[in-house]
A and B are shown apart, each in its own frame.
Chain A
Amino acid sequence: MVTFEEISPADFFYRNRDIAGFTNPVRAIFSALRELVENALDATDLSGVPSEVYIRLSHDNDTELGDDVYRLRIGDNGCGIPARHIPSAFGQVLFGSKYKLKQARGTFGLGGTMAILYGQITTHKPVNIVSSTGTSRIYKYALMIDIQRNRPLILDRTIQINKEQWHGTFIEFSLEGDYSRAMPKILEYLKQTALVTPYANITFVDPKGRLYKFTRVTTKTPPPPKETLPHPYGVDVETMQRLQRITDCQTMPDFMQKHFHRVGETISLSFLDFAGFIRTSDPKNLKGEDISRLVKAIKKNKKKGKNGFSHNLSVKEMQHFIRNTQSGNLVDFMKTHFKGVEKSVILRLLHAAGFIRTKAPRKLRSDEIVKLVRMMKKFDGFLPPDASCLSPLGEDLLKVGILKELKPEYIVVSQRKPSTYSGHPFIVETAIAYGGDIPAKDDILIYRFANRIPLLYDEASDICVKVIRSMNWRRYKVSPSMPIVILVHICSTKVPYKTVGKEFIADRPEVKKEVLNGLREVARQLQHFLTKKEYVARERRRLDVFSKYLPKIAKFSTNLAGKEKEPNIKVLLRSARKFED
């Protein structure tokens, strides 16, 4: 007999922890650490003070458990969590503050809680949380997760006075893991995080008591992202329905302008006209006062400049037009009788004069909602999203970060202009570092970042890697054995991750194109650098050759000629500089 049951989100992720990166003890300890570091950095980015992140991983003293159990403690000086949200933030899967449309490391409301959940299922111990938002109180919680119900269980809660107005969060819990095998990845992760967060102090104490300190080299931070409205291209029926239900707008143009990104009056009208959501009266049905209102509006518009109407129109003339027109609605009527006037101008005029009628958004039927969404995707008059919701690192900070962690001989960085895929804005930043402390390996090193998170796993599937592999690097004088790091950073309100584990980026043609262009840009500059370097080296080798052989020629000829003194070849050596082969 088939039985049916329901499971909670927490239960779902408990059963499918692989998809969140908690596959085995090695991956689990890496994922737990990175999720909490990312939460800490998100929080400190919001707090407005230079980031401090403290990480301590130690063996759990509890001898009952095996020695593969660790205690992970992570602290930050971030914005803290309001007391009432603390239990849910850490005790409930799919709960978070980052579902908004602005760039952040976190997106799913899952990562930190998954780490804690993993700790709980492997050690059955509660998590301890200390947090304050800088108010007069500090809250301490001991929590466990009710996995079946996806609810936090509060085991203990205490409140302390916050004399120093401290803000930030400390989280501590136990989990099973394999640090010795995860260590290389963890250290690499921290190093790359420090690179892409050069304004943060990151301290890590590992189970052997070793201290790794990544010190900030700047207090400059990237401009904080602003929250943004959804772009029409990125909206689906579900989102539309939610917006339409909650809106207090009475008309469609208002609705469009209030709830969507970069939609103003003109665009809203053009779109609604395009989508067939605008109704205007039959001109024949206009009353006398309507006609004079229309004529007045036209006159007023004319003053505004060249897009206006061609002649001074009297009410009489208008009436004449109306009598003779074939058009069944005002937009059409205006279009036929005022040739050369743009449709958008007509629409605005009619709207301003109150001739445009639309349905109230709340009254849209579901077939209308579907149509609206479909037309949004078809309409080509929307402006591309702006990038104020994004927070790329910027060329200067990227340079500083690379210099700090890689100490290369040469760096080139490039930030692309904002672009979009499916209505989501994104910015690609690329960089290449060469030489210096960078080791020469069999292959070029690739550093991938998304929203300032280093991506370390599943390299082969990543779009950036695919693009890099597809490029003809020989053209840029690059060979695999060179000491080179190629770096790609993609930031977006919606990074196209392939999994909730945030390990690699999916193939999106628009993203791919930007990555390629960005890489070409830095590769070209690297090529210039390498060409020059090669030239200098060649020139040096050339001079070496001359200074090796000319004196020998002088010596042998002197012996042959039976002379006493060797000829003076200093002049020749000096002039060797100028000669090209």
Chain B
Amino acid sequence: MKTKISVSEKKKEVLENLRNFGARLYGQMEEGAFPWIKMPSRSIQNIFYSPEVRQYILGDKAVRRSSRNIRHIRPFTQLVWAAYFAYELAKNRKTSTLRDVYYSAQAFDVAFKDQPESNSIITDLETVVGFAREDFNVFPEERSAIFGDLTIEYTVRGYEGRQYNLMSHPDGVMIGPAITSAEFVKTSTDMVIAIEKGGLFTRFIEEEVHKKFNALLVLLGGQAPRASRHFIYRLNKELELPVHIFTDGDPWGMHIAMVIISGSANAAHLRDLTTPDARWSGVWATDIVDYRLPSDELTPVDIKRLYELQKDPRYKGDLWQKEIKKFLKIRKKAEQEAFSRYGLTYIVDKYLPEKLKEVA
């Protein structure tokens, strides 16, 4: 059954949560108390991998932040300010970035020391409010893109009700705030193919992979931004489209896929960013052997990373373990572009069909 996640419903909930947060502090002050909050701790000791939820989650440990504590009052004020800032953004349906947040604080005399401090306050706000920052319109700098037959309907100011087909532009469409906050109208596609690198994304469009495989193409651009992860989640949940992820054949590419599938420890306080049923469809270590791809030696850093991943709870699955072992055995890695050795269309004509069949 298709789950409809209404974008506007969610927006309302975000505003509501922010308002409640303010009201709670207001009430505390009215009662003559120093305002305080309690929120789940995000310390390493409180982050667990949940096999049921199939992602990292926070444990029961909570932290109490009180404005009565001299060390807490500044970050506490910054948190309240961030809530206020987010509330104004969401209410006025404006968007901003983490960098904006950092600078905007200065106008209110609650300046952050540096960008990481500002980022961490935004993460606090996510934890307190229970929504990802994209939901209160704070977007990351990095953007990925999408191409394919999906019609969406905008909810952003000035475009409300307008529809748009994501195949309209041959370079693909940036997954920015407008797309992220759009409702899905219709699609004829059968699957999502997410690609690590821009070169291959463009090749796929040129080679009409979207037609040949009836697919939506998503460009990840390295480690996927959270907005894209959430977007893939929606494609999978709302449109019930299977998701295939193509990355370079090395531990780093593998992990790009894994973060889309099982999320990261940093986002343990958030939900709806993971797509547990998505598949990592290549390039595998076995592909390097089977397709005799031109390859490079694994570096010591690569190898160290592989050993780390081997022990990571997210990599419990057979496929993962098998591929990690293989990497360690052949001591080789290959980029997606390595297929060009067999001609530019080889990857689309030969590899992709075989691969999709194999995973299906």
Contacts and interface: CB of A to CB of B under 8 A. Distances in A.
A576 B67 CA distance: 10
Contacts of A553: 25, 29, 35, 67, 76-77, 80
B239 to A, nearest CB: 35
Does more than half of chain B's interface fall in helix, strand or loop, or is it mixed?
Answer: helix
Question: Chain B contact residues (Cβ within 8 angstroms of A): what range?
Answer: 20 to 34
B73 A545 contact: yes
A556 B83 contact: yes
Of A546, A554, A560, A562, the most chain B CB neighbours within 10 A belong to A560
A565 B27 CA distance: 12
B18 A560 contact: yes
A286 to B, nearest CB: 91
A538 to B, nearest CB: 9
Given A561-B19, A581-B69, A549 B26 contact: no
Given A561-B23, A562-B19, A567-B26, A556 B80 contact: yes
A562 B84 CA distance: 11
Nearest to B30: A567
Interface in A532-581: 542, 545-546, 548-550, 552-554, 556-563, 567-569, 571-572, 576, 579, 581
Given A545-B74, A581-B71, A557 B110 contact: no
B81 interface: yes
Interface in B1-33: 18-19, 21-23, 25-26, 29-30, 32-33
B154 interface: no
Given A545-B73, A558-B26, A571 B32 contact: yes
Contact of B22 (A546, A557, A571): A557
A556 B29 contact: no
A281 B280 CA distance: 121
Contacts of B18: 560
B19 A560 contact: yes
B19 A569 contact: no
A304 to B, nearest CB: 73
B81 to A, nearest CB: 5
A552 B108 contact: yes
Contacts of B109: 548, 552
Given A550-B67, A552-B110, A579-B68, A557 B73 contact: no
A552 B29 contact: no
A552 B69 CA distance: 16
Nearest to A580: B70
B74 A549 contact: yes
Contacts of A581: 69-71
Contacts of A557: 22-23, 25-26, 29, 35, 80
B125 to A, nearest CB: 12
Contacts of B83: 556, 560
B136 interface: no
21 contacts: A542-B70, A546-B70, A549-B76, A549-B77, A552-B80, A553-B67, A553-B76, A556-B77, A556-B81, A556-B83, A557-B23, A557-B29, A558-B22, A560-B25, A560-B83, A561-B19, A561-B22, A561-B25, A567-B30, A569-B29, A581-B70
Q: Which 4 pairs from chain A and chain B are nearest by CB?
A: A560-B22, A567-B29, A561-B23, A556-B84
Interface of B: 18-19, 21-23, 25-26, 29-30, 32-35, 67-71, 73-74, 76-77, 80-81, 83-84, 87, 108-110
